[in-house]
Chains A and B, each alone.
Chain A
Amino acid sequence: MSASGARRPKVVFEGVSKIFRKRGDDLLVLDDVSLTVRDGEFVCLLGPSGCGKSTLLNIAGGFERADRGRVTIDGEEVREPSSRRVFVFQEYGIFPWASVWDNVALGLRHMPAGERGAIVQATIDMVGLGGFERAYPMELSGGMKQRVEVARALAVSPDVIYMDEPFGALDSLTRLTMRSELVRIWQQQRPTILFVTHDVDESIQLADRVVVLSARPGRIADVVEVGLDHPRDLGSPEYGRIKNRLYELLGVQHTI
């Protein structure tokens, strides 16, 4: 991924710290996290549960404030949510009261109807939900709901997409399919993606770079480059080497 080195910085974390105050106790969740994500880069934040990776994402999305440090996008400090940077949520964030079509059209509601219709249809087709435009989320499987969620985010052509363990609730086969679809879509549109996961394989399959966070308080343990071209061979020695390295960084026994 030598090409990514030439691209300009997109999302920059500068010394981000976050403290949760609970019952009088101060709990340091994130400790001085600094990271530069380049334009069009796919970065995975990998770490054990409770390491603050979701919090880091929420700060970058403008849903939470850092106690120290800041996050900038294109040099501008993030202060509130914006539809230029879209979240794909861990639980289903799509609206169960709206059809697939209306969900995907949510971010395009101020657009002229004709233009909007074309984009919505194209996005629905891209995530493989053609024919389900009028269906309601409750009529769809978990994987299809997550596709709607991804489509809703893609429809607004965001600069940055934040994904918080988006495939966590899916069965393992659907998860594999969704990953390869996500990579396909990312290669077509090249948005910057920050993807939170605790799944080592998921991070190697998706990311240009894997940012490993330590257990609480979350600090960056290391950043691992995945120098593999897509489609990636999950059985290659290089894949295995990266996997060992990530397990080592996480401090987990990886031979059973």
Chain B
Amino acid sequence: MLGPALSIVAGVALLLVQERLPGALRSVVAPLAVALVGGALWSLAVTWSGTFTFPSPGDTARGLAELVRSQRLWGDIIASLFRVSWGFSLAAGIGIPLGLVAGWNTRTFTALNPVIQGLRPISPIAWIPIAILWFGIGDGAGIFLIFLSAFFPITVGTMAAVRNISLVHQRSAQNFGLRGLELFRRVVLPASMPQIITSLRIALGVAWLVIVAAEMVGMDSGLGYLINDARNAGSRYDLVVATMIVIGLIGIVLDFLVRQLERFDEVRWGYVKR
């Protein structure tokens, strides 16, 4: 009881003080203060409701420690990341070239776009039964589902990027006689790159959302399965929430990694102003 009260006081005090702090420090202190207050409210809610099932922040921290110590967590993280990296790489490997061609060639675009737009709104989750039917319970189904989740954002994003290439740049390319592969390498690909990277970011975010759902329904390993397992094996909600936190942290790291692509000189122009 004393802990949460102290946290709230500390959090509010920090929020009041942070305005006087230099900008760099403020950007750390302010979110920290909000997290302190949020955690305290969570803790108070658990105490006041008298629940024995829902974990307090302390229970969750102990659950997280237990997961980290057990070999189990690393295996499940690796299983999820394995499916996501294969499915995502396949989607990028097929989606980017397909999007480039379909974006540039109007005839290909006319033929493909309605099909892609028709399949795109179907949630990858809806594909789970078919994925299991085709690939069985295991990595194959997971990779297939992640491929579906990432393929549409990447293909559609790349196509749109190519179709957005400015007329001036197209005419410059024409004026200097760029054709065929050279045109793709020197203009079409670099002009679309910033938007392609953005679509990769979106796709990886979706993939990370979908893998958890897929593992909860149709797989016997991975972080999604770990959540289900923790609940089924004795209502270990401390482990459920701890796994959710791990999923969130890995999601942040994945997004951070893709964003590193935005720092190259060749694409920085696309994020400054347009």
Contacts and interface: CB of A to CB of B under 8 A. Distances in A.
Nearest to A110: B177
Given A83-B176, A95-B187, A63 B268 contact: no
Contact of A87 (B171, B193, B268): B171
Nearest to B191: A97
A101 B11 CA distance: 53
The winner among B169, B175, B193 for most chain A CB atoms within 10 A is B175
A66 interface: no
Interface in A33-77: 61, 63
A94 interface: yes
The winner among A83, A97, A107 for most chain B CB atoms within 10 A is A97
Given A95-B190, A97-B191, A138 B269 contact: yes
A81 B168 contact: no
Interface residues of A, number: 26
A137 interface: yes
Contacts of B266: 97-98
Contacts of A87: 171-172, 175
Contacts of B182: 109
A77 B211 CA distance: 61
Contact of A136 (B166, B176, B268): B268
Interface residues of B, number: 22
Contact of A106 (B176, B265, B267): B176
Given A136-B265, A136-B269, A137-B269, A95 B176 contact: no
Interface in B174-193: 174-177, 182, 186-187, 190-191, 193
B177 A92 contact: no
A89 B269 contact: no
Interface string B148-181: 0000000000000000001011011011110000
B175 A97 contact: no
A95 B172 contact: yes
A61 B175 CA distance: 8
Contacts of A107: 176-177
Contact of A91 (B168, B176, B186): B168
A93 interface: yes
Interface string B257-274: 000000001111110100
A82 B265 contact: no
A93 to B, nearest CB: 4
A207 interface: no
A109 B272 CA distance: 29
A199 to B, nearest CB: 21
A44 B178 CA distance: 29
A86 interface: yes
A61 B176 CA distance: 12
A156 B269 contact: no
A93 B178 CA distance: 14
Contacts of B268: 136, 138
A63 B171 contact: yes
Given A97-B190, A97-B191, A97-B267, A83 B177 contact: yes
A81 B171 contact: yes
B191 to A, nearest CB: 7
A82 B269 contact: no
Contacts of A96: 269-270
B168 A156 contact: no
B108 to A, nearest CB: 23
B160 to A, nearest CB: 18
10 contacts: A61-B175, A81-B174, A81-B177, A86-B176, A89-B172, A93-B169, A94-B172, A97-B266, A106-B186, A137-B269
Please give me the 7 A-B residue pairs with the lowest Cβ-Cβ distance, nearest first: A96-B269, A97-B190, A93-B168, A93-B172, A81-B174, A138-B269, A107-B176
